[in-house]
Structure 1
Amino acid sequence: MAVACTTLDEVRENIDRLDQQIVTLLAERGRFVSQAAHFKKDTDEVKAPQRVEQVVAKVRALSDVVGANPEVT
């Protein structure tokens, strides 16, 4: 939902609101990543470079779909 701000303070308030949501979601994601490590047998499985590449490709594609900068996301 696009919000048309009329002041710089409104822009900053919306950025702060989004930052709160982003950080909360990243923390939730991190907890799932930690859980995934418990299912792996050794450090090589934890590193999982192929899975990392899959995730990066997925996020880059999603960035394109939603109009985000893939280099940033």
Structure 2
Amino acid sequence: MAVTCTTLEQVRDNIDRLDQQIVTLLAERGRYVSQAARFKKDTDGVKAPQRVEQVIAKVRDLAQTVDANPEVTEQVYRAMIAAFIQQELAEHAVLTKAAEPHS
């Protein structure tokens, strides 16, 4: 829960503290994304548009529950998911190449 700040410096200190937590959570999420690449057969599986929409619907609902802006939440998640898909596609390509028989 956000506290009421009395100075801009307090606001910025709290944002910096949250950024530390958010980046730490992004790193953890990214490690799970990397693991997911091992389980997907092809690039369509990596892109998984139906799964993306499930996640978006879930976080929009969660945003409303915790009194966050659903539009902002969706935009942030779409950008984050797109970046993670690019990471996963690159990792999937490496795994696929490593699995190919050498001639």
Rounded to whole Å, the distance in 1 between the matches of 2:56 and 2:37 is 18
Could you list the structure 1 runs, at least 4 aligned residues long, displaced by more than 2 angstroms after superposition: none
| Counterparts of residues 1-73 of structure 1 (less than 5 Å) | 1-73=1-73
The answer for unaligned runs of 5 or more in structure 2 is 74-103
Higher relative contact order (CA 8 A, sep 6+): 2
Instruction: Report the residue type matching 1:57 in the other structure.
Output: A
2:33, 2:23 → 1: CA distance? 15
With normalisation by structure 2, the TM-score equals 0.65
Larger helix proportion of the pair:
2
Identity of paired residues, percent?
Answer: 82
After superposition, the CA RMSD in angstroms is 1.1
TM score, norm. by length of structure 1: 0.89
Larger radius of gyration: 2
Aligned residues: 73
Which consecutive unaligned segments of at least 5 residues does structure 1 have?
none
